[in-house]
Each structure stands twice: as C-alpha cells, then as structure tokens.
Amino acid sequence: MDSSFAEAVNRQVAAEFYSSYLYLQMAAWFEERTLKGFAHWMRIQAREEACHALILFNHLAARGAAIKLGAIAAPPGDYRSVTDVFEATLKHEQAVSESFRDLVDKALEIKDHAARVTLEWFVKEQIEEEASASELLEKTKMLGEKPGSGLLTLDAALAGRIFTPPAPLAGGDA
C-alpha cells in the first residue's frame, strides 16, 4: 500500500474515532436534559462510528500498512437546542462524506483498487448517515423545543434504535 495513502487512511481512522467521541458528547448533552431516547440514539451513532474506524483499521492491517493512531481532539459540547445538535450532526456528516470522496479520488489516482472497494462502502454508508441526520433535523425543526411538544414523543421513538454492526464487521470485530 502506498505510504502516503496509508497516512491518509490513518487520518480517517482518527476522524472516525473523533466522530464517535463527538456523538458521545452529544449523548451527554441529551442526558443532561433528560432526553434519554436522543441520548440512546447518539450512543448507537457513536458505536457505529467506532466500527467505521475499525473497518479502516482492519483494511490497513490486512494490507500490511503501518497503523498510526492519531490524537483525538475534544469535541464541542455546548448546544443551544436539540435542533442545533442535529444541525451540527448534519454538517459533520457532510464533512465526513467529503473526506471519503477525497479518499476515493486518491485511491483511483494511485490505482489502489482494493482501497477503492473498501471506500465505496463508506461512500454509500454516508448517504444513509446524511439522510438520517437530515431527517432528524427536519423533525426537530417541525416539533420545536416547547415543553409538552412532540419532542418527547420523538425522544421515546429514538429510544428504540437498535445497534447493528456494519456489514464489513458482521463477522467479528464490532
């Protein structure tokens, strides 16, 4: 595996762990407001992001590339509202999508077809990630933040989310 490309994938591993950390911080924000369903949804989101990091980690390992885990910055934790959290979530997922598209471009440039196949899974996954964040953003905008609003109904619905390991990890490392 090309060493400069391996470095870029290593940076994405750190970025995925940062995403996990970000969503845990968002879960904490929801916990502080006794929105347990929203917190649960974010905890599962955090687990998924950690799994995404492991998929990339496993790809590097399988290719014999050096794995260098980078530092993870502290995520922001102050939000004005539930809607603000999901605005930040959508913006973050859009940035992640862009970073995966950039990695695919680099894989194509250096003709690393094995990496391209792995990264294509992420490109497709990001469509789901953005759609989910966008849907929750729109729902929270519609519901508003008033006590007694449908926000508590949505909170209860989000408590039912079930973690499913991503397909590339379904056999083990989730």
Query: Could you report the per-residue pLDDT of 107-150, keeping only the tens digit for each?
Result: 999 999 999 999 999 999 999 999 999 999 999 999 876 656 78
> Residue 94 CB: number of other CB atoms within 10 A?
14
* DSSP annotation string for 61-78: HHTT----PPP-PPPP--
Residue 19 near residue 52 (C-beta atoms within 8 A): yes
Domains and CATH numbers, the chain: 3-150 (1.20.1260.10)
What is the C-alpha end-to-end distance of the chain, expressed in Å?
24
The one-letter amino acid at 78: D
CB contact at 8 A, 127 and 20:
no
pLDDT digits (tens, 9 = 90+) for 61-106: 999 999 999 999 999 999 999 999 999 999 999 999 999 999 999 9
Look-up: residue for tokens 């929801």? 30
3-state secondary structure of 159: coil
Mean pLDDT of the chain: 94
Q: Which helix (H) or strand (E) holds 122?
A: helix 113-143
State the pLDDT at residue 149: 73
